[in-house]
Chains A and B, each alone.
Chain A
Amino acid sequence: MNKTFSNSPWALFWRHLRRNRIAMLGGGILILFYTLAILADFFAPYGMETQNRSLYNCPATGIHFIDSSGKFHLVPFVYGKVLADRKWTRYADDTTKIYPIHLFPKGESYRFFGLLPLNRHLFGVESDGRIFLMGTDQFGRDVFSRLLFGGRISLSIGLVGILLSFTFGMLIGGISGYFGGITDTLIMRSTELVMSVPALYLILALRASFPINIKSDDMYLIMVIILSFIGWAGMSRIIRGMVLSIKENDYVTAARALGFGHLRIIVRHILPNTLSFVIVAATISIPGYILGEVALSFLGVGIAQPTASWGNMLNQAQSVRVLTSFPWILAPGYAIFLTVLAFNFLGDGLRDALDPRKIK
């Protein structure tokens, strides 16, 4: 039997994307980061709020293979840290005892996916030792663990924010372009209004209409709303432009002749044609939302302690003394950088794969 192969547009798109190594690298980094954040309970050796009161601002413990007597160990180990200089917060290794790194040791208990009670972590050391891959902060909390937990907030806010603002942006832009006339004018004037205030000033003014101290859960929601409020304007302007040309197509006239409702025509017949553009635009816009969270939390009006987010972890670094003495608190900065880079790589690849001529 002869089999004929035909490629659907999505299969073509996927084949094109897979050939783009940089885009796949970006996608890979993102999958890794999101997995680490979602399963933070398991991957992090300690809890988000676990304090080590005698080990504040402690540098990374480092991973050793050779002990002080020159003996090689097959299983890597860490030394305990002791405060050697209280005035300058300098720590020294206590080389008398070694703590081998165990896989899947018992640790703090948590609920896997919020359901299954577990107490195994990916790695750790015996309970009287400590392993800090990236050191600790001023309250003696493990920076690596907080980085993973903070990723939950910082990484998800981009996805949730984009979902909200793009849904509204598409709908409003669709309505604006489809109906035209006074509706169009009114909507376009209000997008101009939102876009003529520098973004960060507007974000902060909106933030000011809520109390300064808010619980982290509520703050998360408020930030999503604020960031989406800024984001819908640009999106709906572009969608409107696309709708203006799409609505001239014969199939739209046909749908109208069939007596379909306006909203149905907009949502089912017109907006799907903008989808390839929207996917690319969303991928490129997500970093904006992540950076918005970082900026707010960094300035001290976002996610509040003790909850970790990449922004509020950087907050400490505002003091030059802290920054120069304990540079490892910049760790979230590298994480943000890599995330944004990965989104840009992926977005660029998506744009190429979805035919650069159509999207401009």
Chain B
Amino acid sequence: MIPLLLGITFFSFMIISMAPGDYLTTMSQNPQIKAETITAMRLKFGLDQPWYIQYVKWLWNAIHLDFGYSFANQIAVFTLIKAKMLNTLILALSAALFAWGLSIPLGIVSAVRQNTWVDRSASFVSFIGLSIPEVFFALLMVLFAAKTGLFPVGGMKSIDFEYMSYGGQILDLLHHLILPTIVLGSISLAGRMRQMRANLLDTLRQDYIQTARAKGLSERVVTYKHALRNAINPLITLFGFTLADLLSGAFLVEVIMNWPGLGRLTLDALFARDLYLVMGSLLMASVMLILGNLAADIMLALSDPRIRYE
């Protein structure tokens, strides 16, 4: 994991440094800022040195949890990212919960009632969910919110958030969370549902299920105790992929629905050529993804005793 992170940082530092100009070039166009100030800042941030020296310096500081200084926001990158990352995590986790909470039961129902109208309509809806572009879906939801007024059109908090009671604040947050969660969750919902259905159908055809039925166990016990536990394993492995989809997908949802997360921050930083901020958010997004994969591996080991011996 550590070499992977090293590789990612090295690689991303290289491509970002390839970009023509930096934040100070934009600043130097401003006639109100003296040339000496720019030169002094360039020296202070080490921007006059070649990129690999800058990288080593950045890395050394990053090990000490100092991710540098955001030029555009005049604040330490870590402080800025910490707050935004929490918002992205809230959104990603709530979307994951939504997607998994719906896809597993739906997948089970369509597998158990294979080829009935329940199964067919579920697979039809899942095809649509699989195909609807996130940008489009998010815009439709904003349109829906604006036309009906049932949901806020964007953002994370109401204007009077600070004056609400503690419970009111949570309710307000949840109210703002609903539409982004639906948009983001639907990306993985359909895929996971199809996966769950296919897995369960496969498992139900196994010999040991036949044995369990022959023992005289009720169909309920056979399905939910014997088959389900085996069918759910591949889905746990997919949790890492789901998280990758969600983190990447959250980017667009955040921008369209004004959710103050890492995506919005990164986009603004890119436009402003705010080098350290881009690096910081890229790194954080990757760390979240790698940790998600790790969590998936651990969960799989916990649920499947065969894996521990490998």
Q: Which residue numbers of A lie inside 8 Å of B, CB to CB?
A: 189, 192-193, 195-202, 204-212, 287, 291, 294-295, 298-299, 301, 311, 314, 317-318, 320, 323-324, 327, 330, 333-334, 336-337, 340-341, 344-345
Encoded as 1 (CB less than 8 Å from any A CB) or 0, chain B from 276 to 302 comes to 001001100110111001000000000
Chain A residue with the shortest CB-CB distance to B275: A208
**Chain B contact surface mostly:** helix
Q: Are B136 and A314 in contact (CB under 8 A)?
A: yes
Using a CB-CB cutoff of 8 Å, which residues 136-160 of chain B contact chain A?
A: 136, 139-140, 142-143, 146-147, 153-154
Chain B residues lying within 8 Å of A330, measured Cβ to Cβ, are 136, 139-140, 143
A205/B278 contact (C-beta < 8 A), A199-B248, A333-B140 known: yes
Q: How far is the CA of A204 from the CA of B288 in the complex (A)?
A: 18
CB distance from A79 to the nearest CB of B (A): 27
Are B255 and A299 interface neighbours, CB within 8 A?
Answer: yes
Contact string against A for B residues 223-262, beta-carbon threshold 8 Å, 1 for contact and 0 otherwise:
0000000000000000000001001110110011000000
Q: Which residues of B contact A324 (CB under 8 A)?
A: 143, 146-147
CB atoms of A205 and B142 under 8 A apart: no
* Partner of A198 from B18, B133, B285 at Cβ < 8 Å: B285
What separation, in Å, do the CA atoms of A193 and B1 have in the docked complex?
10
On whether the beta carbons of A333 and B244 are closer than 8 Å, the reply is: no
For B286, what are the chain A residues with a Cβ–Cβ distance below 8 Å?
196-198, 201
Instruction: Tell whether, in the assembled complex, residue A196 and residue B4 are in contact, meaning their CB atoms are under 8 Å apart.
Output: yes
User: Which of chain B's residues has its CB closest to A297's CB?
Assistant: B135
Q: Which chain A positions have C-beta within 8 A of B278?
A: 205, 208
Chain B neighbourhood of A202, CB < 8 A: 12, 282
- What residues of A have a CB within 8 angstroms of the CB of B147 in the complex? 324
The 8 A-B residue pairs with the shortest CB-CB distance, nearest first, are A333-B136, A341-B131, A198-B248, A209-B18, A198-B247, A340-B131, A200-B248, A200-B251
**Which among A204, A287, A314 is the interface contact of B135 at CB below 8 angstroms?**
A314
Contact A341 B146 (CB under 8 A): no
Q: B267 contacts which of A199, A291, A299, A336 (Cβ < 8 Å)?
A: A299
A200 CA / B255 CA spacing, docked (Å) = 12
Q: A196-B289, A196-B290 are in contact. Are A298 and B135 (CB under 8 A)?
A: yes
**Counting CB contacts under 8 A, is B132 at the interface?**
yes
Q: Are A344 and B289 in contact (CB under 8 A)?
A: no
B59 to chain A, nearest CB (A): 16
Q: Which residues of chain A have C-beta atoms less than 8 A from B136's C-beta?
A: 314, 330, 333-334, 336-337
In contact, B290 and A344 (Cβ under 8 angstroms): no
B271 on the A face (CB < 8 A): yes
CB-based contact A197/B131 at 8 Å? no
Residue B112 at the A interface, CB < 8 A?
Answer: no
A-B contact pairs, 24 of them (CB 8 A): A193-B7, A196-B8, A196-B293, A197-B12, A197-B289, A198-B248, A199-B244, A200-B249, A201-B286, A204-B267, A209-B16, A211-B19, A294-B135, A298-B135, A299-B267, A311-B135, A318-B256, A320-B146, A323-B142, A324-B143, A330-B139, A334-B136, A337-B133, A337-B136
Contacts of A199 in B (CB 8 A): 244, 248
CA distance A5 to B251 in the complex (A): 56
- Residue B130 CB within 8 A of the other chain: yes
Residues of A within 8 A of B208 (CB): none
A201 with B251: CB separation less than 8 A: yes
**Other A-B pairs beyond A198-B289, A212-B271, 8, CB < 8 Å:** A193-B8, A201-B247, A208-B270, A208-B278, A209-B19, A287-B131, A323-B146, A333-B136
Cβ-defined contact, A337 with B132, below 8 A: yes
B167 at the interface (CB under 8 A from A): no
**Is B127 part of the contact surface with A, judged by Cβ < 8 Å?**
yes
Residue of A nearest to B154 (CB): A320
Given A196-B4, A204-B267, A291-B251 contact (CB < 8 Å): no
Q: Are A344 and B130 in contact (CB under 8 A)?
A: yes
